[in-house]
């Protein structure tokens, strides 16, 4: 039996570790971690492992509703639970404030977001509009099918279209200030271009899968080794490109320089190539084995909850050293995430999947 490839969970582990370390005052590479999460969300929004024309299912209104239900129960219950804990357990939010970013209610519904919750605000807006983006891709594929029948060409056209959309959204979306989101104390545009980069690589992945059978084993082996080297170099880059190391080269130039915020598109493309490499490599590859080990996989599984929780504890560990703060907050967040994931999140997800599958069976029976 072929082992599953959990390397992407290892990449999630790396991203959440960079973010927590940054908030604790170490390396300041939180922006890099956020960019990794942006492209992972975009990549998997396009169902890269589906062999059929998955876009067509979004042509049905019932499927869009099902998608929203699934997204809602994957995110909202756990998020609200953590926000309630932060409000009444840690006094991070104020339940009777209805106007500022400290408001529990405004954070619950993503109207305003305090601190790290700006990222979840971005994610939720993306999840709201993503079915309609995918419908657009589906329509483009339908048009292409009338002209060319080659799936390699069609996926290449969609990849090119999304890549062009990255430029268009980056160039013009920030001009529509009425669409800005209030997050982390400032108004900021939806960073749709970063999600689109991940989505484009999902179609590049589909395209490359079609080429796999045409490539000899020796060439595959070379490409696999090169991909492994690239993954290692990227992870090393996320550390060495931090302000901590760059200021040792030129303090005047790199003081206050945070590469994740200075060059988000470059980082997003670099991270997308890592995602692509990890999903293309066989599960028994050394890099996939290391990235997908049990500990990294577990932290990757808990990364959403750890992201939610860790920031709430910062105020209580400000008086200790950076290393002690990082270790304390990381361990506390991990332990709490373990309990929430296994005893609350997983049962909720399983329940919703059962309900949605039951509805699918009932619909199929009615259509017989």
pLDDT digits (tens, 9 = 90+) for 261-294: 999 999 999 999 999 999 999 999 999 999 999 9
Confidence bin at 214 (pLDDT 50/70/90): confident
C-alpha span between 59 and 65 (Å, rounded): 11
The verdict on residue 68 lying in a domain is yes
- Which residue is it, tokens 């084993």? 217
Mean local confidence (pLDDT), 175-199: 95
* pLDDT of 52 over the 90 cut: no
Mean local confidence (pLDDT), 31-52: 94
Q: Cα–Cα distances in Å, from 38 out to 33, 45, 68, 264?
A: 9, 11, 19, 10
* pLDDT of 333 over the 60 cut: yes
Which of left, alpha, beta for 15 (phi over 0: left; psi -120 to 50: alpha)? alpha
Chain centroid to CA 122: 11
* pLDDT of 364 over the 50 cut: no
The verdict on residue 2 lying in a domain is no
The verdict on residue 21 lying in a domain is yes
pLDDT on residue 359: 58
pLDDT on residue 110: 96
* pLDDT of 363 over the 80 cut: no
pLDDT on residue 365: 47
The verdict on residue 299 lying in a domain is yes
* pLDDT of 368 over the 60 cut: no
Q: Cα–Cα distances in Å, from 362 out to 60, 68, 69, 311?
A: 17, 20, 17, 44
* Cβ 166 vs Cβ 196: under 8 Å: yes
Mean local confidence (pLDDT), 135-159: 94
> Each residue of 77-126: pLDDT tens digit?
999 999 999 999 999 999 999 999 999 999 999 999 999 999 999 999 99
Instruction: Please give the share of the chain, as a percent, with pLDDT higher than 70.
Output: 96
pLDDT on residue 1: 37
Ranking 106-110, 113-117, 251-255, 298-302 by mean pLDDT, the lowest is 251-255
> Could you tell me the residue range of the domain that residue 320 belongs to?
7-367
pLDDT on residue 149: 85
C-alpha span between 281 and 288 (Å, rounded): 7
Which of left, alpha, beta for 306 (phi over 0: left; psi -120 to 50: alpha)? alpha
* Cβ 309 vs Cβ 336: under 8 Å: yes
- In what helix (H) or strand (E) does residue 186 lie, and over which residues does it extend? strand 186-188
Ranking 75-84, 100-109, 146-155, 169-178 by mean pLDDT, the lowest is 146-155
The verdict on residue 1 lying in a domain is no
Task: Give the global pTM.
Answer: 0.94
The verdict on residue 264 lying in a domain is yes
* Cβ 120 vs Cβ 110: under 8 Å: yes
The verdict on residue 345 lying in a domain is yes
pLDDT on residue 362: 54
- Which residue is it, tokens 């582990």? 13
The verdict on residue 261 lying in a domain is yes
Q: How many independent structural domains does the chain possess?
A: 1
C-alpha span between 202 and 121 (Å, rounded): 23
> Each residue of 314-329: pLDDT tens digit?
999 999 999 999 999 9
């Amino acid at each position: 039996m072929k082992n599953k490839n959990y390397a992407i969970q290892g990449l999630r582990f790396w991203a959440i570790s960079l973010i927590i370390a940054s908030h604790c005052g170490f390396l300041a590479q939180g922006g890099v971690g956020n960019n990794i999460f942006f492209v992972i969300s975009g990549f998997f929004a396009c169902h890269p492992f589906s062999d059929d024309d998955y876009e067509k299912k979004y042509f049905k209104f019932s499927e869009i509703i099902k998608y929203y239900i699934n997204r809602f129960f994957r995110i909202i219950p756990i998020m609200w639970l953590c926000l309630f804990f932060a409000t009444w357990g840690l006094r991070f939010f104020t339940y009777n404030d209805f106007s500022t970013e400290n408001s529990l209610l405004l954070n619950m519904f993503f109207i305003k977001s305090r601190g790290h919750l700006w990222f979840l605000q971005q994610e939720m807006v993306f999840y709201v509009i993503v079915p309609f983006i995918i419908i657009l891709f589906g329509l483009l594929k339908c048009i292409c099918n009338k002209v060319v029948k080659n799936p390699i060409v069609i996926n290449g056209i969609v990849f090119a279209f999304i890549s062009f959309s990255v430029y268009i959204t980056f160039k013009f979306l920030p001009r529509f200030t009425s669409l800005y989101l209030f997050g982390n104390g400032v108004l900021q545009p939806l960073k749709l271009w970063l999600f689109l980069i991940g989505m484009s690589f999902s179609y590049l992945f589909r395209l490359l899968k079609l080429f796999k059978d045409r490539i000899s084993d020796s060439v595959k082996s070379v490409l696999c080794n090169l991909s492994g080297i690239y993954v290692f170099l990227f992870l090393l880059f996320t550390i060495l490109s931090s302000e901590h190391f760059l200021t040792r080269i030129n303090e005047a130039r790199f003081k206050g320089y945070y590469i994740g915020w200075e060059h988000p598109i470059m980082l997003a493309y670099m991270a997308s190539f890592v995602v692509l490499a990890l999903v293309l490599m066989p599960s028994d590859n050394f890099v996939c084995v290391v990235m997908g080990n049990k500990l990294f996989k577990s932290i990757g599984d808990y990364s959403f909850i750890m992201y939610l929780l860790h920031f709430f504890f910062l105020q209580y560990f400000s008086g200790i050293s950076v290393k002690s703060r990082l270790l304390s907050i990381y361990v506390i967040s991990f332990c709490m995430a373990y309990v929430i994931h296994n005893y609350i999140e997983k049962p909720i997800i399983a329940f919703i999947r059962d309900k949605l599958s039951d509805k699918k069976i009932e619909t199929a029976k009615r259509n017989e």
